[in-house]
Structure 1
Amino acid sequence: MNGNPYLEAFAWLGDPTHWSGPSGIPMRTLEHLGYTVLGVAVAALIAIPLGLFVGHTGIGKGIAVTAAGAARALPTLGLVTLFALMVGIGLTAPMLAFVILAIPSLLAGASSAVESADPATVDAARAQGMTEWQILTRVEVPLGMPLIVGGFRGATVQVVATAMLAAYVGNGGLGRYIFLGLGSQDYPQMIAGSVLVIALALVLDLALLLTQRLTLPRGTRPA
């Protein structure tokens, strides 16, 4: 193409034919969002209880920190390729990679949330006869909720930015535009797909940022 690929990318985005049908932008965005939500949700089922346990008891903190750091260093594309060779083409391979990618942020957020609780407040609750479970659920978690939401925020942004790799093994999402454009050397389509992924990441990040501020304990919220 001889024109400016960035201008052509915005022209591609403005083409009404790209906003309808099973391959249209709304459907691909919903697919991309679905992959992100599912990956983060599965990771949360693993990481949040573990993070709360580690933060409350201190047991296994070193192991959890080391494992989370190692998971952050894993290359997502390599994981997707490896899992695809193991389980075949489909959604399972990228979803396993997304879960592994999301766990470190969620684990760090949950454990930090519990550890951030004021020790004097925790001791006062314990002196009043509250059980360890009650202290965790009624004192530590409510006080540390912004950090837990922050963990979800970090995990969501990471997963939504890499969910395009689902298209690498034959699935949908906004990554389809990028890989189809790469295969046909349609650079405006590739740029348009990248812009859509960035836009979705920014929207989700802003929504979770607002949620994080709303979960701040009363008296600590900014005016």
Structure 2
Amino acid sequence: MTSDIDPAEPQGDTAAPPSRRAAAEPSEADSIGMRLRAERLKQGMTLGRLSEEAGLSIGALSQVERGLVSPTVRTIYAIAGVLGISPAAVIDPVGAQAAAPEDSPFIVRRTAQPKVLDTNGVTKLLATPIGHSRYKGYVVTIAPGGSSGENSYAHEGEEVGVVTAGSFSLQIEGRIHLLGPGDSFTFPSTLRHRFFNDGDVPAEVIWVNSTS
């Protein structure tokens, strides 16, 4: 008589061994990468554009999205800042949702505005509700000596802004404009641009980006 039972297989418990079950569960790096990739694709953004705006190589971004590396907090902030999402929502979406105030989906209280960027002397608070992808509004603070970087960049969409305090320089296609309180701007994001603050006091700007 022959048996259909493979003697190499454990009997009684048909569940996968703990090591096999653990391997099937996504790691923290996997989960973060999947969330970032899903958001990028949702916004129709290419890796190339994300690379340019976040200041990270395409290879590094690809490794993060595939969960091959654990991204640093700075890397998460840079990517989340470009995507206009909360870094907290990337790292711990359940906790971020639980911490969100119970209010209208159209309102974001100043105390609840997530910091999506804090690098090179520039901080950005997301002023529009998370989930609204067509327009992203930010409260941008540019410290003295702060800038978007040495190189100008371009991407899809349009930009609108109003300076509420201090002054900063906005460079569009090589021409530099010094803007002060009450000054405003609008330009296609496809024009190469950068900004910096050569003054002695922080500048604050209400800055809106459209994704199309």
TM range (shorter): under 0.3
Relative contact order, CA 8 A, sep 6+: which one is greater?
1
Answer 1 or 2: which has greater helix percent: 1
Structure 1 length as normaliser, TM-score? 0.25
Task: Please give the TM-score of this superposition, normalised by the length of structure 2.
Answer: 0.25
Q: Which has the higher strand share?
A: 2
